[in-house]
Amino acid sequence: MNFKSIAILAALPALIAGSVYAQSSIKPAATETLRPLSDFAEIKDEKDRSVALFQEAGKVITHARCVNCHPASDRPLQGEDKHPHQPLVVRGSDGFGATGMRCTTCHGPTNVDHAHLPGHPLWHLAPIEMAWEGKKLGEICEQIKDGKRNGGKSLDQIVEHMAEDSLVGWGWQPDAGRSPAPGTQKEFGALIKAWAETGAVCPAS
């Protein structure tokens, strides 16, 4: 270990404490809801219904809890305003950070509420081809369906991932002071399933 990495490690508690201090006055936005599936039954055209379902699910997909881990650069984002991660950390070759600055250096297997620190056993960044930051919902939709950019997942596997994956699920169980994604993961999964069953049509923009 060289001097620089020792200095970084020594500074960690201060960095973390500093971020708690900086964030302590920020209140999460009011919890948003998702419209129930029954609301969409009145849309008779199946393509239109499919698009409307994805647009509703888009409230989750474009939410900070998801986008912060699906950034357009190598650096994760933080907070409701999706600002660059402080301190500077990068994706690294496996999404778990660079050598000497791994995500797990700070992010443990569970949230640490008093430190305003998110946690999950598999806390790491989505690969660059799954970047959602700055994209229109229609573009994200096409990308999610594209096997070359979604980790080779079939549509069924995408539905399952959205509905069941526990890292996705963290979006509804963030650490204290961070607003959860709209609705529940179950409601979100139901919207995505209904979208897939109606032909998985993407919004034009």
Give contact residues for ligand HEC (rule: CB under 6 A). 12, 15-16, 19, 23, 60-61, 64-66, 68-70, 76, 78-79, 85, 87, 89, 91, 95, 97, 101, 103, 105-107, 116-118, 123-127, 130, 144, 150-151, 158, 161-162, 167-168, 170-171, 178, 181
Distance CA 95, CA 74 (A): 9
Residue with tokens 């995505």, as numbered in its chain: 192
Question: CB atoms < 10 A from the CB of 193, how many?
Answer: 18
Residue with tokens 């620190």, as numbered in its chain: 117
* Minimum distance, C-beta of residue 6 to ligand HEC, in the bound complex (Å): 14
* Minimum distance, C-beta of residue 126 to ligand HEC, in the bound complex (Å): 4
Residue with tokens 């912060």, as numbered in its chain: 68
Distance CA 45, CA 158 (A): 24
Nearer to ligand HEC, 44 or 109 (CB): 109
Nearer to ligand HEC, 1 or 42 (CB): 1
* Minimum distance, C-beta of residue 140 to ligand HEC, in the bound complex (Å): 8
Nearer to ligand HEC, 185 or 198 (CB): 185
Nearer to ligand HEC, 12 or 29 (CB): 12
Structure tokens at 168: 């996705």
Q: Is 113 within 8 Å of 175 (Cβ atoms)? A: yes
HSE, CB side, 13 Å, CA atoms: give it for residue 92. 15
Nearer to ligand HEC, 61 or 196 (CB): 61
* Minimum distance, C-beta of residue 44 to ligand HEC, in the bound complex (Å): 28
What is the distance of C-alpha 59 from the center of its chain? 12
